[in-house]
Structure 1
């Protein structure tokens, strides 16, 4: 595309989604409202039941993991242009659902560079681990994954502690997350912190991968999303 910035904002239920494309993140035009994805069908849910709601003072999209959903991922696909480099931020909240197993952690996060064939990168939270009495569980509060080849089990086995870390979390509480993606690098910032909570220096699908952006939840999760914003950079 040209060097002129293009921006658009879509309201997904109660979730405000703005998409900006420019050659530099500094050159962004004013957003414009283009409609709601739930009504137009532009937003696709896979393995997830969704509803618009109000949650802890914010308009939100509620996402509940469906039991026995096929595949590794439960996604709500956002109506964005192909995303390579840029910034994704949102208010997210996750907690185990009423029917969740004892191993559920309220898994909730964001996926990027998503392809229909099941390829994606994602960073997610395990909210019940944030204040666990077990220090090892606390160390597993944040997780990077790259499906289909690099689920969390493989990453933990082959590179312990490299792709997960601690951050203070509570199930059901709003947490602000900001993911900055440049080439093969991604950084997660939590609750406005100046320093990243997690640094990933080798995104498994490579520096040039592009794809959709999605809301991501794990099995046994009741999640809420609000204020989703995607800023895409590059030509």
Structure 2
């Protein structure tokens, strides 16, 4: 009997570990996928803080490609779109102490996230290299990838420079990300720029529609505010949202 009770308790603990927590923020509800999420005060205003949960989803520097560019985000509940425009302000810091010395403050947005989090598109930032003292590093400040088949390392190897670019961004500063998604094309506008800072002419994802997730990766202390869905077209409603 004691063994059965112990096994039951262990099962409950494991279930609690893998279950997704939910959080309400800016009038919307999100669920946390492989991250810790909380509402905190930053410089006097309430913002959403997100950090990767290493207990649920460990990082392995010897298996870098398999343990980065993954579903580590808070995902907006009960929302699905195919094409649209959305915006959020992001601020990144490198965690101290950091679990990954090469962390660049990885923060951004996953979109067209399918129902089981197994496929999506993403554009994220590496603010720590935006003002590096060499151009090669600066050219990695913005990154696109498609999960699961086209992570940053494959795209860099097969299409060097096509799916990442330079941007004048830095750590510990608010950066506005506005993403326009239409068909196979995505455009990123930074800090209310009139013209896109980054264009993905042909996305590589397998998910034609889905949700939106606010993403951080290894070694990042990420903050979000002013999340807006400016327009969206539901895949089943041709007239839009």
TM superposition score category, shorter chain reference: 0.7 to 0.9
8 A Cα contact 1:80 1:213, kept in partner: no
For 2:94, the equivalent position in structure 1 comes to 96
Listed as ranges, the gaps of 5+ residues in structure 1 are 1-11, 17-34, 38-42
8 A Cα contact 1:49 1:63, kept in partner: yes
SS at match of 2:153: helix
Distance 2:143 2:187 in 1: 12
SS at match of 2:156: helix
1:14-29 alignment, distance < 5 Å: 15-16=25-26
Higher strand share: 1
For 1:199, the equivalent position in structure 2 comes to 199
TM-score (norm. length: structure 1): 0.79
Using the TM superposition, name which of 150-159 and 73-82 deviates more.
Answer: 73-82
Is 1:79 paired with 2:77?
Answer: yes
Shift of the 146–81 alpha-carbon distance from structure 1 to 2, 3 Å rule, reads same
For 1:219, the equivalent position in structure 2 comes to 218
43, 54, 61: which one aligns with 1:67: 54
8 A Cα contact 1:67 1:220, kept in partner: no
Please list every run of at least 4 consecutive aligned residues from structure 1 whose deviation after the TM superposition is greater than 3 angstroms. none
For 1:55, the equivalent position in structure 2 comes to 42
Distance 2:110 2:86 in 1: 9
Is 1:135 paired with 2:130?
Answer: no
Shift of 1:201: 1.2
8 A Cα contact 1:58 1:226, kept in partner: no
8 A Cα contact 1:124 1:144, kept in partner: yes
8 A Cα contact 1:73 1:218, kept in partner: no
Give 1 or 2 for the bigger CA radius of gyration.
2
Shift of the 80–174 alpha-carbon distance from structure 1 to 2, 3 Å rule, reads farther
Distance 1:56 1:204 in 2: 39
8 A Cα contact 1:66 1:219, kept in partner: no
TM-score (norm. length: structure 2): 0.78
Distance 1:151 1:187 in 2: 18
For 2:123, the equivalent position in structure 1 comes to 123
8 A Cα contact 1:155 1:163, kept in partner: yes
Distance 2:158 2:120 in 1: 19
SS at match of 1:154: helix
Shift of 1:64: 1.2
8 A Cα contact 2:90 2:222, kept in partner: yes
For 2:152, the equivalent position in structure 1 comes to 152
Instruction: Give the length in aligned residue pairs.
Output: 199
